[in-house]
Structure 1
Amino acid sequence: MPCDADLSWVGPDVTSGKGAGDENFPVGTLLISRRNRGHVMAYYHFARCIDDIADDPTLPPDQKAARLSAMNAILRGADAPIGRHDAATAETLHRHFKKLDLPYEVASDLIKAFQQDVTKSRYANWAELVDYCSFSANPVGRFLLLLHGESADILPLSDALCTALQVINHLQDVSTDLKRLDRCYLPQDFLKQEGAEVGDVALSHSKPGLRRVFDRMLDEVDSLNDQAATLPPLIRNRRMRIYTAIIVALSRHLARRLRREDPVAGRVKLSLWDVVRSLGTASRCLI
């Protein structure tokens, strides 16, 4: 994709200070083999960087779009500007991909999603949101499974898990996304049908109509998690099988918390007990 050289690197590097330890789910886990850990971390740093570009409130939209296009070009082998950490993440991932027999799309599709974030801030219905997740989240699971030599046949189950995780994250950040970026991932038809409005997420607590929208979305998440629960036994790599089982369990626990708690009143997070129980659930994969 061509990029506007006059805009691509205008302004500062906006990569946040967030690291793998700040994410909802384990990234640089020891369950990833040492042989693959470097590939995973290179992928994570690239994904974190392009997400930060799309979400930065200080960059104008045209600069975001140009910089994301430039990152895509570097990922596929274009020269990177010297001295920029953001561009270096794409250059580093390109070197990793040259060693791997993996499709570049499992990384570049993320850029499509973040390019969409620059221009699209509302979603008409659930289908539109799922389509967004197919670019913003599903490539991550596909990357991990293909990296570990898993069959392409199981990728749709991975897509279900990644879409569930993405929707959960949208619900966790529902107020922040609107206040900070004027972005709302709640299906507009759900809001209309339940007598709610986008502005309701900026209040101190959820109104009944908005709560019903959340619950409808969580119904869909539960269905996706049910599909995802069938994934771990199909994974041949033992470490990845256990890792995936942990993520499925964490996804279920967080969905339950979002049922009980109000994401408008405060960010809903996993508890230590949720993590312990998830590890217990995943331990069955050792049998």
Structure 2
Amino acid sequence: MPVEHYENFPVASFLLPARLREPVEAIYAFARSADDIADEGNELARVRLERLDAYRRHLRSAERKRPIDDPALAPMFDRLGRNIRRHKLPVGLFRDLLDAFSQDVKKTRYADFAELADYCRRSANPVGRLMLRLYKADTPANLELSDKICTALQLINFWQDVEVDWRKYRIYIPLADMERFGVTEAVIAAGEVTPQFSALMDFEIQRARTMMLQGAPLARRLPGRIGWELRLVVQGGLAILDKIEGVGYDVFTRRPALGKTDWLRLIWRAATR
């Protein structure tokens, strides 16, 4: 389930076949470090965007087996390029991630769900698509289900982090939904769990849950370890939604998260559902 820096990414755990740990680690290192450029520290937006542009340049070099002109980043991009070529990974998916991270630097509001879904298409869905390519399971039907799971995971991360994102002056809740339920930015700034905010969160949670359940059959289609890990991911995401509901939608005073005692229940659910 979520990791500290780049949530919603299945890290190279013991559940992965040994032959895939290196490519997954290479993808993860790229995604996490690029995400950190967009989100961590106190650099100016201009500097963040310049650094992400450098990542685009290094990605082109890595893809074409050319030298990386930054010694500090050369090992990471050399390894990434090696695995892109070895596993025939679509480079466009890495560019999509960089586009999403750049968007995070520049864009802080989303007019409607279509805009937010387009962001998720680039920020989250590439992860699942890359994993399916590594497993040689990237059929059109599987990709469609994977996109639903990954978008749902991204949405779940947004709903549990409303307060965290506000501290960065970001709101991922679509403005059209806020207007529909009568929730203003002042409500979020004050951390008020009003009846209107609760109704809005319930709406967003049900949308994410429906999307997750629509994608969940993918976990039964995939064999062995990847299917088992994906079932854990799905159950973990659903459990976060349950926790948000369990605290009465108060994502301001506590961040709903999974604890140690949750994992036994999730393992049981993953084994039986």
Same fold (TM over 0.5): yes
Is 1:140 matched with 2:127? yes
The partner residue of 2:259 within 268, 271, 279 is 271
* Match of residue 36 from structure 2: 52
- After TM superposition, the score normalised by the length of structure 1 is 0.85
Q: Which 10-residue stretch deviates more, 239-248 or 75-84?
A: 75-84
* Match of residue 189 from structure 1: 176
Question: C-alpha separation between the residues in 2 aligned to 1:21 and 1:35?
Answer: 25
Question: C-alpha separation between the residues in 2 aligned to 1:158 and 1:102?
Answer: 16
The aligned amino acid for 1:223 is T
RMSD of the TM alignment (CA)? 2.1
The partner residue of 2:147 within 149, 156, 159 is 159
Structure 1 residue 271 displacement after superposition: 2.7
* Match of residue 225 from structure 2: 239
Question: C-alpha separation between the residues in 1 aligned to 2:30 and 2:93?
Answer: 12
Q: Percent identity over the alignment?
A: 32
Question: Which segments of 5 or more consecutive residues in structure 1 lack a partner in the other structure?
Answer: 1-18
Structure 1 residue 182 displacement after superposition: 1.3
Cα deviation code 1:164-214 (max 9, x no counterpart):
1101111122112121x2111011011111111123223244222222221
Is 1:256 matched with 2:268? no
- Given that 2:97 and 2:123 are in contact with CA atoms closer than 8 Å, whether structure 1 keeps it comes out as yes
CA 1:56–1:272: 2 relative to 1, 3 Å: closer
- Aligned-partner SS, 2:127: helix
Question: C-alpha separation between the residues in 2 aligned to 1:214 and 1:89?
Answer: 39
- Aligned-partner SS, 1:50: helix
Question: C-alpha separation between the residues in 2 aligned to 1:201 and 1:91?
Answer: 43
Question: Which segments of 5 or more consecutive residues in structure 2 lack a partner in the other structure?
Answer: none
The partner residue of 1:131 within 118, 124, 131 is 118
CA 1:204–1:188: 2 relative to 1, 3 Å: closer
The aligned amino acid for 1:45 is A
- Aligned-partner SS, 1:76: helix
- Given that 2:5 and 2:35 are in contact with CA atoms closer than 8 Å, whether structure 1 keeps it comes out as no
The aligned amino acid for 1:55 is D
The aligned amino acid for 1:207 is T
The aligned amino acid for 1:90 is F
* Match of residue 108 from structure 1: 95
Report how many residues are paired.
264
Question: C-alpha separation between the residues in 1 aligned to 2:80 and 2:70?
Answer: 16
